[in-house]
């Protein structure tokens, strides 16, 4: 298997590896209700999603929810603004480094006009293919969770397990490589002696991703302060597995890799803390800090992976017809691999359709600087259905660069 194939298969693994990069985990939730409303929900959580968005909503007065069992909560997204996946597929099919090496070997053996033309053609193709891959970023994320929620004003509880796989790949062509290939083409055209520049190529494709598995118990309680305040905490054990690949020069074409060779396992303990405040006129406020205790890890290639504190505030309004939400990240969050940093502002609404259905719409904007070819806005939507204690929620999100979806099956009793 070529390394290019390994990169592609690693991307597929990211999307399925929950069964079993450096950077950091972004502030995201694939709880389908929240995801459909632009990712906003810090001030509008329920017992079903409190562990993902704000543990304070396990206090019964903050959510008014029945017991909940969620299995599964599942979602994922893919972002490929430069179509890196297509570029890698094309590179894999053409194998331009190997083709160029064969052309150079033929020229060295028999330096004439015919073999020189072969070097010219193969060199031009190799330069085009390296430039086609260079500077493009692919990222992907997948998530799977299970929750048991028991709301109560004195001691609301929830136990959960959640696995999140996130990361990406990037291509980078060095100017020195392009110049060396061009020099070999010029030397062949003039029927001069030449050396094979592919022996010292420094162009690369890097791929990094992580699997973060959390096991935690959330606890929430109402307090008679500030006219009634719900407080929740989620101590959690975090198991982190990172994969870090670096394919340099001719390795892009030929070498084989094993996931185990690029794997690093670590473990730590951290916690989330949330606050929620409800008013009698339907307004709600929320604040959450995730990963309050920072965790630092290192990949096998020495790159840093961090779980850092992430703070988000939200406001919501609810009446008998709808719920409207707005969230704002108070911290700028590092990328999971090669993506831009994120600081999201999100808006969403949930419309009640009869007794059994909900229509949800949302919008999210990245306030951090993003590359010129990357979209900062995301539109979301979804539906929720309730019948005889069974809850089904569906969500989709997308723009010109990204597509995501989430699904959740829950039971209320």
pLDDT in tens, the chain (413 residues): 333 343 343 333 333 332 233 355 667 889 999 999 999 999 998 888 999 999 999 996 555 567 889 988 999 999 888 888 888 888 878 889 999 999 999 999 999 999 999 999 999 999 999 999 998 888 899 999 999 999 988 889 999 999 999 888 888 999 999 999 999 999 999 999 998 898 889 998 888 888 999 999 999 999 988 888 999 999 999 999 998 888 887 666 654 556 667 888 999 999 999 999 999 899 999 999 999 999 888 888 888 888 899 999 999 999 999 999 999 999 998 876 667 889 999 999 999 998 899 999 999 999 998 877 789 999 999 999 999 889 999 999 999 999 999 999 999 88
pLDDT digits (tens, 9 = 90+) for 296-351: 888 888 888 888 999 999 999 999 999 999 999 999 988 766 678 899 999 999 99
Please give the Cα distance from 220 to 51 (Å, whole number). Answer: 10
Q: How many residues does the chain have?
A: 413
CA distances from 340 to 14, 291, 376, 380 (A): 19, 20, 10, 20
Please give the C-alpha separations between residue 165 and each of 168, 169, 208, in angstroms, as whole numbers: 10, 14, 11
Q: Which domains does the chain have, with CATH numbers?
A: 3-94+135-184+203-412 (2.40.160.40)
Phi/psi for 87 (5° steps) reads -65, -40
Alpha-carbon radius of gyration of the chain = 25
* pTM over the 0.75 mark: yes
Burial class of residue 19 in the structure, from the number of CB atoms within 10 Å of its CB (0-12 exposed, 13-18 middle, 19+ buried): exposed
HSE-CB at 248 with a 13 A cutoff on CA atoms is 5
């Amino acid at each position: 298997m070529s390394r290019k194939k390994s990169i592609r298969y690693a991307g597929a693994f990211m999307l399925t590896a929950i069964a079993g990069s450096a950077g950091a985990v972004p502030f995201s939730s694939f709880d389908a209700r929240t995801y459909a409303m632009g990712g906003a929900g810090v001030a509008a959580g329920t017992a079903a999603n409190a562990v993902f968005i704000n543990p304070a909503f396990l206090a019964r007065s903050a959510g008014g929810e029945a017991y909940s069992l969620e299995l599964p909560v599942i979602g994922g997204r893919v972002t490929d603004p430069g179509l890196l996946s297509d570029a890698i597929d094309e590179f894999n099919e053409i194998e331009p480094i190997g083709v160029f090496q064969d052309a150079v070997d033929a020229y060295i053996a028999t330096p004439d006009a015919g073999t020189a033309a072969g070097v010219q053609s193969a060199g031009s193709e190799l330069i085009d293919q390296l430039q086609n891959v260079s500077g493009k970023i692919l990222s992907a994320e997948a998530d799977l969770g299970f929750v048991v929620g028991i709301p109560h004003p004195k001691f609301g509880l929830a136990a959960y397990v959640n696995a999140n796989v996130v990361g990406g790949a990037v291509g980078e062509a060095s100017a020195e490589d392009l110049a060396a290939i061009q020099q070999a083409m010029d030397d062949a055209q003039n029927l001069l002696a030449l050396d094979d520049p592919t022996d010292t190529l420094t162009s690369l494709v890097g791929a990094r991703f992580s699997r973060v598995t959390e096991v935690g118990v959330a606890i929430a309680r109402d307090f008679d302060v500030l006219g009634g305040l719900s407080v929740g905490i989620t101590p959690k054990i975090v198991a982190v597995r990172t994969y870090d690949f670096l394919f340099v020069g001719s390795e892009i074409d030929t070498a084989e890799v094993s996931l185990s060779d690029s794997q690093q396992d670590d473990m730590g303990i951290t916690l989330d803390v949330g606050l929620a405040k409800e008013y009698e006129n339907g307004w709600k406020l929320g604040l959450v800090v995730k990963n309050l205790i920072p965790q630092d890890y290192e990949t096998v290639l020495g790159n840093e992976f961090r779980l850092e504190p992430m703070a988000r505030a939200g406001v919501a309004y609810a009446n008998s017809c709808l719920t409207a939400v707005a969230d704002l990240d108070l911290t700028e969050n590092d990328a999971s691999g090669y993506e831009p940093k994120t600081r999201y502002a999100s808006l969403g609404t949930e419309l009640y359709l009869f007794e059994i259905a909900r229509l949800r719409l949302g919008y999210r904007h990245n306030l951090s600087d993003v590359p010129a070819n990357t979209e900062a806005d995301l539109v979301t939507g979804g539906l929720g259905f309730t019948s005889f204690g069974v809850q089904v929620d569906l969500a989709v999100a997308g723009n010109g660069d990204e597509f995501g979806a989430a699904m959740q099956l829950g039971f209320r009793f």
